[in-house]
Amino acid sequence: MGLLDPTPPPYDPLEWVEQPFEPRAKQVCQAWALQGYGAPLAVYVAYALKIAAYVGAWVFFCGFTPGLGGLSSIGEWWLHPIAFQKAIVFNLLFEVVGLGCGSGPLTGRYFPPVGGALHFLRPGTTKLPFFPGVPLVGGDRRTVMDALLYAGLLASLVRALVAPTPGFEHFLPIALLVPVLGVLDKTVFLAARAEHFWVTVVCFTFAAEWLAGAKAVQLALWFFAGVSKLNHHFPTVVAVMTSNGPLTRAPFLRKLMYRSYPDDLRPSRLATAMGHGGTVLELAVPIAFLLTPLGVPPVVGIALMLLLHVYITSNVPMGVPLEWNVVVVYGGFALFWAHPEVSLLSLGPAWVTAFVVTFTLVLPILGNLRPDLVSFLLSMRYYAGNWANSVWLIRKDAVAKLERLTKSSAWIYDQLGHFYDRRTAVGMVGKVMAFRLMHLHGRCLPRLVPKLVTRLQDYEWLDGELVAGLALGWNFGEGHLHQEQLLASLQRQCGFEEGEVRCVFLESQPLHVQAIAWRLADARTGVLERGSTRIAELRAQAVWSAGSQ
């Protein structure tokens, strides 16, 4: 195998794709358990080089401030408050352009490897307005005004980055444009990682002590990420992620993640213990930093933080939030190590405090109790496995209708056709089916897919993430982006007949409810059926069939 060659699955993909659901699901899940996605080694090298370029770009922008910039003296200036401000602004730019989370082949984006600006700067592309149907702001196709406002955000971000001392006049346009763009297209707001970077920029702009606001945001990121894992989903994440990690390739180690490979691919006791340990660690980091003023040395929080994020980053999780993990670690040093004396109570004024409390406490709590109302990003429920998601079944003779869309990337197999033959491409895309099935919510699919289609062989199985990447220019695990609103928009643009596009929409599990809600829909006729499945039933169920294990 060469550096560009993916790991071939232990079956012929062209024969596999013509099989019914259960044998297809069984084979691909067993393959994932030992191979993961099977990405070429060159992919991991490319992501590592991207991180290096990302750090280099931050150093470059810091160089516009006298006394900052330059790798040879980085130890003298890297924790300076202006360096932190530029890190936040740069990360907002990096993400909203499409270079960060949701970029590259580990997110189903092959050619081009990024979306973001390629889609958001192009009039006519599909968008998801916050107020659909409302004049001027509620259209589902991007206008020249949308593209110009997005370009204005990019220009404002660069202006702040090249300023010697960025201040109110530099931060204000960013603080205003991000929510305006979010009203026009929810995708842009989420792609900017607004729950982190935009909220922090608002603190830069208006807070009496912006360090206090930045600390509150960072503590909330860790705390609610830990809270989100207080369920039965996270052990499946650990197992699936370990099976895909570049440093955990040994077959015996991957087999240890499952109860009884190859027959029972539910998470083992070891994977469950690792999940619980990760949850405790994620909750311990913010608690340790909160206790610093009471005498707990900052080095305790720093050590726990490094242990947490090194583990996450070394596994290169699907969705690849690698640079985001880097900036969170940097924030731990720049905020809590360099400024342990700054109290959260010094934020001020009152309305800024209320704003920060809303985004760091109210929305995350609401998102855990009513995940159908709040994005998992705004809820800070990061990589917990408890995601809203969808599977789209598109009849093979109807795929060509997607060409009626104005989009920044081609049909998934056409993207892969630049690099691989049909057999290899089908094998790669097919692995995404396993990724979904092997998480706890995926066990709903053996029950629901047969309700939608009688012959799966006549349909392309496409995870909603790939649909969002194609139609919206960005995808990062936010299932609400590829549910009813997007389906209705694509129907208006493509004109599917009844039965040509069928979808399973799964909701996240609320923190206090032991069930997952679901909906079945047809592009032309709308929602066909609603229901819910209890978590206890899913835990007892086999990964690839509706029967008990």
**DSSP structure class, residue 293:** G
* pTM of the complete model: 0.96
Residue 39 belongs to a domain: no
Identify the pLDDT of residue 1. Answer: 53
Distance of CA 217 to the CA centre of its chain: 18
What band does 132 get if pLDDT is binned at 50, 70 and 90?
A: very high
| Cβ within 8 Å of residue 458, ≥6 positions away | 395, 396
Residue 61 belongs to a domain: no
Burial class of residue 1 in the structure, from the number of CB atoms within 10 Å of its CB (0-12 exposed, 13-18 middle, 19+ buried): exposed
Residue 432 and residue 150: Cα distance in Å, rounded?
31
pLDDT in tens, 475-497: 999 999 999 999 999 999 999 99
Buried b (16+ CB within 10 A) or exposed e, 382-393: bbbbbbbbbbbb
Residue 247 belongs to a domain: no
Residue 2 has pLDDT above 70, yes or no: no
Residue 472 and residue 78: Cα distance in Å, rounded?
36
DSSP string, 104-157: SGGGT--SSS--THHHHTSTT-B---SSTT-TTT--SB--HHHHHHHHHHHHHH
Distance of CA 430 to the CA centre of its chain: 20
Q: Are 63 and 82 in contact (CB under 8 A)?
A: no
What band does 294 get if pLDDT is binned at 50, 70 and 90?
A: confident
Residue 95 has pLDDT above 90, yes or no: yes
Average pLDDT over residues 177-205: 98
Work out the angle at residue 96's Cα, subtended by the Cα atoms of residues 90 and 99, and round it to the nearest 5 degrees. Answer: 80
Identify the pLDDT of residue 458. Answer: 97
Residue 275 belongs to a domain: no
Residue 140 and residue 133: Cα distance in Å, rounded?
8
Residue 472 belongs to a domain: yes
Distance of CA 326 to the CA centre of its chain: 15
Range of the structural domain that residue 394 is part of = 389-540
Identify the pLDDT of residue 295. Answer: 85
Residue 228 belongs to a domain: no
The chain-wide mean pLDDT, for the chain, equals: 96
Identify the pLDDT of residue 435. Answer: 97
Residue 527 and residue 146: Cα distance in Å, rounded?
30
Residue 521 three-state SS: strand
Average pLDDT over residues 55-69: 96
| Cβ within 8 Å of residue 385, ≥6 positions away | 229, 233, 234, 236, 237, 439, 440, 441
Residue 480 belongs to a domain: yes
Identify the pLDDT of residue 429. Answer: 96
Residue 536 belongs to a domain: yes
pLDDT top residue among 485 and 41: 485
Q: Report the domain count for the chain.
A: 1
Identify the pLDDT of residue 4. Answer: 81
Reading across the β-sheet that carries 526-534, which strands appear in turn? Answer: 459-463, 389-395, 501-506, 515-522, 526-534
Residue 155 and residue 112: Cα distance in Å, rounded?
23
Amino acid present at 211: L
